[in-house]
Amino acid sequence: MEVHFTPEQEAQLSQIADHNGTDTEQLVKDAALRLLQDDARFRGGVKPGIAAAERSEFVEHAEVWANVEKILQY
């Protein structure tokens, strides 16, 4: 697989890689792998919610916002 960036984007990635003590290729690879992990975790978290909705099990609006506020405190 090849990914192409503009020269400006390459310079930005190189700067970030240097700051993190790695090379640009490893930086981009690590970012892509994190994306895959985050996507898998998100999809895994959504499945139980969909199953609950199909069983007509819903969370009240106030409880949803309480959970969001709890998450945002971290």
> What are the pLDDT digits (tens) for 7-21?
999 999 999 999 999
Distance of CA 9 to the CA centre of its chain: 20
- pTM for this one? 0.67
Q: What is the dihedral of CA 19, 24, 29, 30, to 10 degrees?
A: -10
CB distance 13 to 27 below 8 Å? yes
The answer to whether residue 74 scores a pLDDT higher than 80 is: no
Residue 59 predicted with pLDDT over 90: no
Is the pLDDT confidence value at 5 over 80? Answer: yes
Specify the amino acid at residue 43.
R
The CA distance from 9 to 69, in Å, is 35
In 3D space, the residue among 47, 49, 68 whose CA is nearest the CA of residue 58 turns out to be 49
Q: Could you tell me what percent of the chain has a pLDDT over 70?
A: 99
